[in-house]
Amino acid sequence: MIRFLFLIIMAAGLLSNTTKDKVKTYSVRKLKGEELVITGKGESPLWKNAIELTDFIYPWEKETPSFTSFKALHSENWLYLLYQVKDDHINVLVKTNEKLEVVSSDRVEIFFRKDDKMLPYYGLEMDPNGRVYDYMAEYHRKFTPTWSWPAGELIIKANKVADGYTVEVAISKKSLKQLELIKGNRIQAGVYRGDCVEITEDNSKIKWISWVRPDSPTPNFHIPSSFGVLKLED
């Protein structure tokens, strides 16, 4: 009986470790006494120090998505993000220029959460015009779209080119700590892209691209399994 219980405990431990091993982790290298200048073009030579993440997938499509690159760096005071996207047909909805128009446009996204309960979590969805749909939400999909990232603590600039667009972001660590999103040297985050194939009167057709394959049969990033970890290096 004792041996049986021991085997159960060992199996549970192995299962737990296996689950942890499945969490994707991206290492965010630290700048040494330097700050990035955000232009929207990703032209700073400091970006050469960052690890390039390119293993993005269509979780709910059969084909391979067009190229998406994500990089991140951090300094004493800021977390920097760089998205570089290949897209021959950029679609951006502009009518009243309100931030909700971003959800009907081409965009890149990052979600942050305190823990896997996602109570709350935060979204930044950023389009090729440099607009951001920022919101607080609670699981599942209970949005507070009127919420905004703390003033002065978020910088977003974008740039369109012939074959795509670039989005460059600076998020203050002050705001990330204020929202309890940095735990030690780890930030739980999901990195995504919405490839807008067509803008229509009623709705836009979006193909969803993700770093992590969410555990959902239908498109949904607003669930715990769509997140990975950004690990801040010393």
| Domain-wise residue ranges, the chain | 24-232
What's the gap between Cα 142 and its chain centre?
Answer: 19
What's the gap between Cα 178 and its chain centre?
Answer: 19
pLDDT tens figures, 55-97: 999 999 999 999 999 999 999 999 999 999 999 999 999 999 9
pLDDT tens figures, 127-182: 999 999 999 999 999 999 999 999 999 999 999 999 999 999 999 999 999 999 99
Decide if 76 contacts 35 (C-beta within 8 A). no
Class of domain 24-232: mainly beta
Q: Check residue 15 and give its pLDDT.
A: 38
- As given in the structure block, the two tokens for residue 134 are 């920022």
Q: Alpha-carbon distance 32 to 45, whole Å?
A: 14
Q: Which of 224, 218, 140, 157 is nearest to 189 (CA)?
A: 224
Question: Rounded to the nearest 5 degrees, what angle is found at the Cα of 94, between the Cα atoms of 122 and 38?
Answer: 55
